[in-house]
Amino acid sequence: MSSGRQARKASKRTIPLEPLIMPQVPRSNYLHFQEEKQRLQLKKFLLHRMFLVAKILAHTEKKDIAEYYEQTFQSILKRHLGEAVTGLLLIYPTSILHILESSSGTLFRILLDYLDHEKNENEFLIQGMKIIVMSHNIPARLFLQWQVSVIKVPVMYLDDVTQSQSLEEVVTEFLTQIHKLGLHLFKTVKVGTKGPGDNLHQVAPDLLLPEQIIKYLCNSEEFLDPAAFIQMYSNPVHVTLDSEVVWPAPTRF
């Protein structure tokens, strides 16, 4: 009897107890949230929107400007992964206004291509380019395709707002008018069509920016040109901690 009891006690002791397993709570971070958001929107890369202004040479064929950008877009997308380019190119008599929407790598390569032409050509058809604003991680595209519109008929303006307004006010009006124009094209232009073409001054004359504002922004020193912009974003960020600063400076004996 005693031997049976001891055997039963031993058998009870040899049965291992299952360890208590804490329930695993799924954790995520902001990067995973953004990646999932992009996946749901069928986008491989984050989207950015860039606003450019520039001057053009006198007697420049407007079709040459459009063909240059079309060839640049095709060349970049063939060699590099990235989002397709959408936006709007307004060609004024002596200047251009360009809005581009794409991934950051594609936008940077567009600027690099411009710098390459500017460096290697004496008189490139686009000159004095300035970057007004670059909006990062935009939720959706404002333009469903890339379209070009030539402003043929000069628009008459009662006064020159650049003479009475500050730079901040001019930029605010600049962005407000572009946003209104983009919403108008978003609602009226169908995907696959050429858009308003060269009749934009007749379709939406109140939404067009005066060329004097474009010239004013081109001449403003407050905005970066492509070379300074790329250099700023290419340079590594060096942060010096207070613990790394030693005073007086160490000297060798």
Structural domains of the chain sorted by starting position, each given as residue range(s) with its CATH number in brackets: 44-233 (3.30.70.100)
> Residue 172: what residue type?
T
Determine the 3-state secondary structure of 88 from DSSP: strand
> Residue 106: what residue type?
T
Cα(154)–Cα(56) distance, integer angstroms: 16
In order along its 253 residues, the chain shows pLDDT tens digits of 555 555 555 555 555 555 555 555 556 666 666 666 555 555 578 899 999 999 998 888 889 999 999 999 999 999 888 889 999 999 999 999 999 999 999 999 999 999 999 998 888 999 999 999 999 989 889 998 999 999 876 555 545 667 778 899 999 999 999 999 999 988 887 776 666 677 787 778 888 898 999 999 999 999 999 999 998 877 766 656 665 666 655 555 5
The dihedral formed by the CA atoms of 154, 117, 232 and 128, expressed in degrees to the nearest 10: -30
- 138 token code pair: 């935009």
